[in-house]
Amino acid sequence: MVCAGLEPDQLDRLSEIATEVAFARNQVVFLERDAGTHLFTVTSGVVRVLKTLPDGRRQITGFLFEGDILGLMLDGGYVYSAETSTVATLCRIPRKKIESLMAEVPRLLARMLALTTHELAAAQEQMLVLGRKSAKERVASFLLSLARRSERRGGPGGRLDMPMTRAEIADYLGLTMETVSRILSEFRRGGVIGLDPPQTVSLLRRDILLKLAQGDVPVGV
Amino acid sequence: MVCAGLEPDQLDRLSEIATEVAFARNQVVFLERDAGTHLFTVTSGVVRVLKTLPDGRRQITGFLFEGDILGLMLDGGYVYSAETSTVATLCRIPRKKIESLMAEVPRLLARMLALTTHELAAAQEQMLVLGRKSAKERVASFLLSLARRSERRGGPGGRLDMPMTRAEIADYLGLTMETVSRILSEFRRGGVIGLDPPQTVSLLRRDILLKLAQGDVPVGV
DNA sequence: CGAATCCTTGACAAGATTCAACTCGGGTGG
DNA sequence: CCACCCGAGTTGAATCTTGTCAAGGATTCG
């Protein structure tokens, strides 16, 4: 299969018009407001999706993994920028082909609606995180969402690969790199997580993380 | 027309199955995780959509006005709660009817996708606001988005009705009521806005608000 | 093995929250 | 009709969480 994880059902006519593209780390896939000519799916690696302010501040609105789709556009332009967080391969599909195919195959349309709905629900949740949770609560929420994602894909929920840097996590959680680092250290000292290489996390006390993430009074951290 | 603003095109079969419901102020329309049996559209008034934490903190993820749709659900349950901010009338449409109609009429499906896409783009923008903007920048962004909405609907862009309370604005912007009030007062003192009744805003210096909203150094505030 | 990048930690500063008092306006009931 | 009452808004002072600035340590990769 050319573009793994693209369309598990009989819509593989999509794969016929898709092109695989390889990226190094920290490469721009496309920029916000660029003409939205293609839709992408992640075949391997991690992609970050982000918005920036004129002075350089940035908000990462999501990390995308294998099988995820990107390329949301409005009025013909992309709504956000996309860059690779790791080396990655993506599938590129011309927008027009998708659109004509959607007009032809309502099933694809329905699938796109389902995917977009899912993304919207995730965005709502992230607004709660960004607007109302403390730094500790944000980091705990992030670790749990990483674990859930891993489990949903059949991976381990306990020992996780965390391929993004502290700065990227910070830009995702609306914090600074230093705050993220401090909180991860605090969790480690409290025995809540393990950080062997700094990019591998073990969730040792998921119960505590869960309480922290919801703002309940923690037991011993 | 029973449900104004519902479907401007030939999909008025929807209005046939819709019921109009009237609400007083601060009434619950539905709760997060309730069984999602209906989709709603706002006919008049303002509805707030929100998520809450166990300890009562809440994040308002959007204010909905006439013509807007609500009732996003995942796994059969609503993703957020909805309450009225003012007296309001809503149209209620059974979920099942919508779904069977969508299967029948791809045009409706396409329209739902377009609406959801729009909402997702707005959510991305709000994540930037919540994650990376200062309190002043948030309030400036909010005022501008109110003005744009009013203009898009053919209303005035200068003198705006702001029917929600300071506390609601705060819960939308991830701030406290006091901070919102202070910043509005500061804008007023600086001649950037007028607040005649506290619920009517005049954007006197939109240029300054624009710069503030993007984080550029303001001229004189 | 050296350079670059990433991560960690500390000290201090700043922005926003908390707590509290007071004002304003609209509606209600005596 | 007017006083009172309640919700909403405003403002001040103190506190606290997080950001900023800075230095040093660790890891990775050529």
Containing B169, the helix (H) or strand (E) segment is helix B166-173
Q: Which residues pair with B92 in a beta bridge?
A: B19, B40
pLDDT given for residue B1 in this prediction: 43
Are A127 and B124 an interchain contact pair (Cβ–Cβ within 8 Å)?
A: no
**Which residue has 């059902």 as its token pair?**
A9
Q: Length of chain A, please?
A: 221
Q: List beta partners, residue A159.
A: A202
Place of tokens 């390889």: A22
Instruction: Evaluate whether A36 touches A95 at the Cβ level (below 8 Å).
Output: yes
Strand C contact at CB of residue B199, distance < 7 A: no
Residue B80: list chain A partners with CB under 8 A: 124
Q: Which residue has the tokens 């040792």?
A: A204
A176 Cβ contacts chain D strand, under 7 Å: yes
Q: Is the CB of B175 under 7 A from strand C?
A: yes
Q: How far is CA B104 from CA A71, B96, B108, in A?
A: 28, 12, 9
Cα torsion B28, B128, A125, A43 to 10°: value is 140
> Residue B218: pLDDT band by 50, 70, 90 thresholds?
very low
The distance of Cα A219 from the centroid of its chain, to the nearest Å, equals 30
Token pair for B141: 């962004």
In tens, the pLDDT along A173-215 reads: 999 999 999 999 999 999 999 998 889 999 999 999 999 999 8
Side-chain half-sphere CA neighbours of A78 within 13 A: 21
* B70-91 pLDDT tens trace: 999 999 999 999 999 999 999 9
Residue B220's pLDDT band (boundaries 50, 70, 90)? very low
Q: For all residues of chain B together, what is the average pLDDT? A: 91
Residue A42 has pLDDT above 60, yes or no: yes
Cα–Cα distance between B204 and B32 in angstroms, integer? 39
Residue A13 confidence (pLDDT): 67
Residues 6+ apart with CB under 8 A from B114: none
Is any atom of nucleic acid chain D found less than 7 Å from the CB of residue B177? yes
Residue A158 pLDDT: 83
The helix (run of H) or strand (run of E) holding residue B136 is helix B135-152
* More confident site: A5 or B162: B162
Q: Which nucleotides of C are covered by protein (CB under 7 A)?
A: 6-11, 15-20, 26
- For B26, which DSSP code? T
Helix (H) or strand (E) holding B42: strand B38-44
CB of B106 closer than 8 Å to CB of B183: no
For residue B89, give the nearest of B140, B42, B139 by alpha carbon. Answer: B42
* d(CA A102, nearest CA chain B) in Å: 9
Q: What is the mean pLDDT of chain A?
A: 91
Q: Which two tokens stand for residue A44?
A: 């391997």
Alpha-carbon span B159 to B195, nearest angstrom: 10
- For chain A, the three-class secondary structure string (H helix, E strand, C coil) is CCCCCCCCCCCCHHHHHCEEEEECCCCEEECCCCECCEEEEEEECCEEEEEECCCCCEEEEEEECCCCEECCEECCEECCEEEECCCEEEEEEEHHHHHHHHHHCHHHHHHHHHHHHHHHHHHHHHHHHHHHCCHHHHHHHHHHHHHHHHHHCCCCCCEEECCCCHHHHHHHHCCCHHHHHHHHHHHHHCCCEEECCCCEEEECCHHHHHHHHHCCCCCCC
Q: Are the C-beta atoms of B37 and B22 separated by less than 8 Å?
A: no
B144-182 pLDDT, tens digit per residue, is: 999 999 999 888 878 999 999 999 999 999 999 999 999
**Within 7 Å: CB of B167 and strand D?**
yes
A128 contacts B123? CB cut-off 8 A: no
Lowest mean per-residue pLDDT among A5-14, A131-140, B23-32, B94-103 = A5-14
Among A99-103, B125-129, B177-181, where is mean pLDDT lowest?
A99-103
In which region does residue A191 sit, left (phi positive, over 0), alpha (psi from -120 to 50) or beta (all else)? left
Size of interface A-B (CB pairs under 8 A): 123
**How far, in Å, CA of A131 to CA of A145, rounded?**
17
Whether residues B132 and A61 touch (CB distance < 8 A) is answered with no
Q: Which helix (H) or strand (E) holds B202?
A: strand B200-203
Q: Outline where DSSP puts E strands in B45-199.
A: 47-52, 58-64, 69-70, 73-74, 77-78, 81-84, 88-94, 159-161, 193-195
Q: What is the pLDDT of residue B206?
A: 96
Closest to A128 in 3D by CA, of A114, A143, A142: A142
Strand C, CB < 7 A, residues 47-76 of B: none
Q: Are B47 and B29 in contact (CB under 8 A)?
A: yes
Q: Is A150 exposed, middle or buried (0-12, 13-18, 19+ CB in 10 A)?
A: middle
When pLDDT is cut at 50, 70 and 90, the band that residue A8 belongs to is low
What pTM did the predictor assign? Answer: 0.93
* Residue A198, amino acid: P
Nearest CA in chain B to A56: B215
Close Cβ partners of B146 (under 8 Å, ≥ 6 residues apart): B160, B162, B201
Confidence of residue A78 (pLDDT cuts 50, 70, 90): very high
Place of tokens 């240029």: B207
Residue A126: pLDDT over 60: yes
